[in-house]
Structure 1
Amino acid sequence: MEVASLIVSPLLQVIYEKLASYVNGVETPKVQKKNIKKLQDKLFIIQAVIQDAEERQLKDNRVQIWLSKLRDAAYDADDLLDEITTQPLLRRSLKQRVPSESWKWKDPVKDQLRRIQSSISKETRRQVRITSFAIQSILSSFEMRRKLTDIIERLDDIAREMSAFSFKDVVAYKRSDTREKRVTGPDVDESQVHGRAEDVKKIVDLLLSSGADTWVIPIVGIGGIGKTTLAQLVYNDPRLDGHFDKKIWVSLYDSFSTKRLLTEILECLTEHKCESSQMGVLQSKLRGSLYGKRYLLVMDDMWADDQEEWDKVRSLLRCGAEGSKIMVTTRTERVASIMSNAPSHLLEGLAKDDCWTLFKQQAFAYGEENDFPNLLPIGLRIIDKCQGVPLAAKVLGGLLRSKREEDEWLRLQESDLWSLDTGENRILSVLRLSFNHLPSNLKRCFAYCAIYPRNYHLNKEKLIQQWIAVGLVQSAGDNLHMLEQMGNECFNDLLDMSFFQLTSSSDAVEFKIPSLIYDLAKLIAGKEFLTIENSDQPQVVTGRNLAETRYALVENNFRSSLLPKALFKAHKLCSLNFLSSGDISMEAQRNIVQCFRHLKILNLSGSGIERLHRSIGDLIYLRYLDLSNTPLQTLPETIGHLCNLRTLDLSGCTNLLELPGEIVKLVNLMHLNVKDCTRLASLPAFWWSMVSLRTLPIVIPGKNIAMLDCLKDLQGELKIKYLVNCTDFALKVGPDGIKYAGPFLKHLQLHTLDLFWGDGGEDKLNRNTSRQTRQPGHDSQRLIRELCPSPNIRRLSINGYLGRQLPGWMKSDAIHNLTVLELINCKSVETLPMLGQLPVLKCLNIQGMDNVVKIDNEFSGGAMWPFPSLNELTLQDFPELRTWEDMGSTEAFPCLKKLSIMNCPLLKTMPSFGFPCLKRLSVMKCPLLKTMPSFPTLQHLMLQDCDPLLLRSAADLRTLLTLVIDSFCELDFIPKVLLENCLFLVSLTVISCPKLPTLPANLGRVTALRSLKIGWCEMLDSLPHGLANLISLENLEIIECPSLIALPEQSLERLSSLRSLSIENCNGFTSLPRGMQHATALERLTVMYCSNLASLPDGLQNLLVLKSLTILSCPDLASLPDGVQHMKMLQNLEIRICPKLMALPKVKDLISLRSLAISDCQNIKSLPEGIEQLSELQHLSIQDCPELEKRCKEGKGEDWLKISHIPYKHIGAISVLQNRQDTAASSSSS
């Protein structure tokens, strides 16, 4: 297929709109206005034919050359317009004075003397700068006039050449105002999937099968065929529920490596960013997370065909339990064959009917196709050319959704692009066709995304701000607020047309570009876009004409010294993004400023930059500066020279101490993001003068909060800190002559508001305010009355409030859209507000209410159905709360699913009815609470540090699935009634009950139980014989029960489902049950710190599926049973601190053994017989076994040759690896 072609039409549209705005400008000189009008007329003539030219370039190379000239001239015109419009901004900026002192009252005489003394030199310097700028402006005006004349002459030549091509005048696509918007989400929407039920069934059956040949299941198909969608359907299939212990999803692409895969798996498992980059650490963490667990790993979008890398990964992933599966989606059969010997699941195209259904869902609103019968035959012919590819059907359907004219559909059907290629390139032709029919503004917005790496997760707001910064979104008069609205519409249009795919639907929307759509973006991006995916390879830019490059991105471990020097030849660069954690030297920063004078976007987010060079102020065209998540402590004052700056992102700069005073000169600044700048103690003086601000997540107002009224355009999130210092807020005078404050927030379009009287913690509040300056409680009440947010507010948090009453607006319609409410550490509040009438409140968290004595009917607000939408309620740290009365209605909390009551030491009662849908209940540290109501749908119950009588009232729990009894210090028996009806209980945990002698005798009736954990019960001396009836039990864990001597005889004989048995710190234990050999499903056996255990039972060879055997600190254990040597499925054997153990059994038949660890066994003198025959053994560790270490010494020991084949060996204090070079390379790359 044709390589990247030129898309010039949106650029011309942007420049034309800029010219129109400039011609109508008040400050435009007449001579300049005349020339600008000439330029505008030339562009108007060319614009009429540009769409035809862009389509014809695919067949006529001369047209592409002509478009190249036009593009270069257009970019030069764009740069010139920037220079022209920036001059008046610079003049105003230089004349603007910024106060150097903080805004507070001073002694007038002393202050005047000090000001006169310091202002003489400052004023002199300012006048010099103004004079110098005036001279430069005169010179610049001549230069700009010359450039303008040159551009007009070039466009004259281009317009004359245009006549030789006989271009057709094509009317540009116009957006329909009646277009229906569709709500989408990040998860797979099964209503949008058709014709895949049989594929799902086949894959699910393979995942549930036990054959080793189906460990890796490849799904192979061309791009856009629906491989990822199929994997998502399978991943969420209910038939897999409970089958896998862990489910992991990672997205991959061409830059595959073992380290990267391990990192992504660990981050998926822990839901935290993996900080370590050392291979050894990653491997250890992975084994700890997956060891003995049956997991499902999805590796989506696998491109790399590196057999060696996959072999490394394969050996590491073998640590899971039997039945673990890996599902891989890939475009190539070669990748599939490398990863698996099993036949691939080849995903075919959809049947025509399914493809047509999918197309109609995108092209029409529900049932709307019946209103346009003339379009249906055309649509069917279009579908024929989609070759059953769902993505093509979705994209084309989305494109036609706003088109209802027959000729628009026919023009798409008859396009020549259909016949350009076959196979996957044919699909790209289809998608290219969709791109060609996008409106002009969407084309370049989409093409801009090509600079990001494949599968990169982008932030919606940041991308829109970048679009605006480089001029891809325009509005009449360059209205800043309208620009964001239009950018949001562009994003939603591309999302609706399936060019984007959401990955997060929270307030911070994240998305990615589907893989095949990404190929399209790369195809149409052209030479203007440059992505350097590995800065260690400067050859990426070798041979390119960098004069054409406008947008660049540098990825990976960036270091200034490794940045390709050739990149600095891209003097017309307007966007530079770094995706790197490396530092950026001051010299590199200077080079960036000097070489890229027209830079509009500079993104250093996540880099290690510690200081920002003062030359940053020379980037006067800069509109977007992202310094988020960097270790910066301060910013240079020259940042105030960035007169065009609209976005300054400092979020996550946890070291940032202050903002420069000059920042208030940035009159165009719309977004100042200081979220999570935890050390930022104040804002600059006159912060409220930045009246264009729409984003300012944190405000520290000082004494006077009334200045918030100046920022009328704030939106999104707002956290106001240290309200305790606001003692002067009565500045407005009403008609009655009385001074009053606010409301300050009602006009702001906020969705999240946090009101902090301190910084979120009592200690910080006390540190930052003295008793003399702290606001009295009655002032807090006056203040909070005036902080009523707009009705759009969805999340509200009030923290550290000092008043006795919460404001009346909390019970009114003022916050009727509220979904999340937090009241934290409002220690003086005496009664909870009336919240029961809030119609959509879903989460209510109330903590630290020191003076609340009771919760009564007033809390419900007198509503007939109190708290109609509440899903989650937390009451924590109520030291004086005594009663929680009925809510006055049996219909209270109709949707409540989770209730937590914690640390209420005086609480005696709770409501006797309500809670019809409660699923989770936690009651912790409520020692006086003796009863609780019936919960007909309760599934999860946790009781901690409460009165034992509470257990008696917890009866008839027929739906209970999990039960935790924790820290009942006086509990001497568990009532039988507690378990009487728990027929569906799957998990029981009893811990820290020191006086409990045994478990209820009716435990054996809970036959659905799968997990039983007993720990830290010092007096527990027996378990009921009914233990043997727990035929579903999979995990039995007993920890630190010193009085327990043994499990009941034959208790394990009937536990046919038991997979894991762990006995730890049970010093009274003398032996394991004799019937243990009947637990034939056992996969993991752990015995630790059992000082009286002398032997293990015979018959262990019958544990045919045992994969892990760990024996730690059993000093009386003298031998292991011979049966150990016959465990052919054993993968991990760990023996530590067994000083009487003389030898290990033969291991030659342990053909699955992958890890062997021996430590602190001084009497073991030699390796087990047959170790040299273990081809699967990957890890050997021998520690604190002097004789054994000597025999295994590298190259010299008697047994060295027996273990030399093992890749990873840890003998004594020295690690020995088979392939040192590979390890060294791995370390250096990390």
Structure 2
Amino acid sequence: MAESFVFNIADSLLGKLASYAYEEASRAYGVYEDLQGIKDTLSIVRGLLLDAEHKKNQQHALREWLRQIQNICYDAEDVLDEFELQHKKKQDLEVSGSTRRKVRRFFSPSNPLAFRFKMARQIKEIRDRLNKVAADGTMFGLVKIDVEPEHSLQRRQFTHSHVDASSVIGRENDKETIIKLLMESNPRSDGDKCMCVIPIVGIGGLGKTTLAKLVFNDKRIDDVFQLKIWVCVSNDFDIRKIIIKIINSAFLSASPPPGVAIAHQEDINHFDIEQLQIRLRHKLDGQKFILVLDDIWNDDRTKWIELADMIRVGAGESKIIVTTRSNSIASMMGNVPSYLLEGLSQKNCLSLFVKCAFKDGEEEKYSNLVETGKEIVKKCAGVPLAVKTLGSSLFSKYDLNKWIFIRDHEIWNLEQKKDDILPALKLSYDEMSSYLRQCFAYFSMYPKNRSIDVIEITTLWMAHGLVKSTNEFVTVDSNTRKISEQARHISIIENDSLDRVLFPKSKSVRTILFPVEGVGLDNESLLDIWVSRYKYLRFLDLDYSSVETLPNSIGKLKHLHILFVSNNKKIKRLPDSIFELHKLQYLALNGCPELETLPRGLGKLTSLRHLWITTKQSVLSLTEFANLINLQLLVFEDCKNMKFVFNGAQQLTSIETLYLDNCGSLESLPLYIFPKLQSLAIRSSKMLNLSLHNESPVQKLMLKHLLIDNIPRLLTLPGWIEGAAETLEILRIYELPNLQTFPECLTTMTHLKRLIIRGCPKLSSLPSGIHNLTALEELYIDGCPELCRKCQPQSGEYWPMIAHIKSIIIKEEEEEEEDEEEEE
């Protein structure tokens, strides 16, 4: 890893030397030719570093050579930083300095002539040192490689499909889950040749390939699929090579049983891509196959689509398993949820460790070693390859001191073979781009098991030039002394950083953001400055601010799209001018308990899409809201005086999502006002009677998602829910202490996919026709003791009616208490 890191440092240094800023400064000080010499020599050394990657294990002297290069690069960075600082001082002086100052500066140690001599001497020294290491590199037999390091990355050896299942520990449940997915019908197999692609995702050494092998070699797979094809992709996602591997593997899979003559396999290595794709399609046409694509690193979606189009000629029920370390690759290739492989349990890890460290039964003689082994296993974090590495390193070693040495030393300090854990993990490091490798290396500065603060680590990266902060995006904290005139987007993360002199006088600011909870604006005069100065603001975040009102001038922000005034405990009113914001799309006024009323003119905000409201008003004007023709989401939060949502008979035809949270005085909810409503959430509204406004016949609704939470008066679900029988997909019932029954209309919900019931202690039964909910994929019941008992797997009386549901989670209170005790 060290030589790759040195390459990154050299690469970064070359980038600086090639920049226009350094070229301009070097010409101004007459050291251009010297810096170009460093650049040329460094380019040679950079190429030699790539060859050192391949030869590092053969010559130990290369480590010292690499250390020398690293030191030279760091010294060169220091020289260049000093050079850059001096040039900036010179520019500042030319702008603001007087003649008197210039004369005084000529006789100071920092005058241009003295600085030039100093720089020339330091640059010559750096160049001489670089020339020497470049010459030493050729003595080591290194040659210059003119390719990027990404093209010479380490890769593991190609995998094969064989596995001794008896040697694999702790993956039986994982295997059964994947096999179950393989046995299921494809979601879109009817008329659509979109084969099911199942990604198995996990870090290096976790056992993704081993799991794929276990599945691939299971006898049930032989009975279901006509062809079994194993392809290790690993290096580049070379379409031609992959096709050849698929054809060859398919040929062997279709071979006759032992004792029967095998047909001669044609040599297809010389075929062009057209011949290969014809042969591939012929081989797979109409066949029901399982294809394992092991060790995928390619994130080029066009390549994957090209390959998928060729193999889509197989039977619709064919399946593909993909193993990869990358969630993004899994998402790109998979069309079912990824299977996220987890680490082994401590018990299974210990069993695997003992298997690797001892001969069969031998561990019984060395109980003291096994006890130490338990502590060694903890550092492996459930990763099987790490367990194997440490266990194998102790095989036939019975000296307790050697075991203690392994226990007390970090795994990366131990000698590693090519198939051990560190080489496997290094593949992920190699896959990172150059600048990410340098960023990653800084994590080593933090102690083990410590949470790393995001702001702290990014600040560290910025300090060392790994993250370039432009004039365009600025984070403001107590250390900020000035904001550039070119700043467009300002993020304020500390309250005590709000000094008005910081903020630029230009009109270029587009965003003002307070991203930290609890940190907001408490300076009304500064808000006046922002509103009057930044005419082109698109995003103004006043979350957690403490101002009593907004300035009248806010109406001049004609370009404002988003305005957050949430969680302001002081604001009492809004100026009428707010309704001059004709481009406003998002307005958040929730968490403002002192807001007395919304000013008239709300209907003028015709671009508004999302609106969050907390107000002391008892009723709102339906006429005003009816003019908001683009309003899609409406949230009422902590509106404690509100008895009726609206006063009027008009309909709000654009609203698709309605949330009512903690509106304690609310008595009724007329759903007919919202004919296009798709999502409805009602929480903590203790006076609400949901049974009102039950029309006959039942009004047809478009609801897809319904949440009812903490409505004590509810004895059964409201009758109007029957109006959503053809559309409802998710029904969540939380904390209804008096709910006793479900209406029979629940069994007519033909599109219901998720039913979640929690905290309904009096609910003891399900509708008798619950088995008719064939679309139901998830049933979750928690905090309903009698109902939980009746739904227990195998033994519960309702089990036969719900057993067809894919995911069933039944939690009883006793089990929860036990789980909490175990966690503590």
- Which structure exhibits the higher relative contact order, with contacts defined as CA atoms closer than 8 Å and separated by 6 or more residues? 2
Whose helix fraction is larger, Structure 1's or Structure 2's?
A: 2
TM-score by length of 2: 0.48
TM-score by length of 1: 0.34
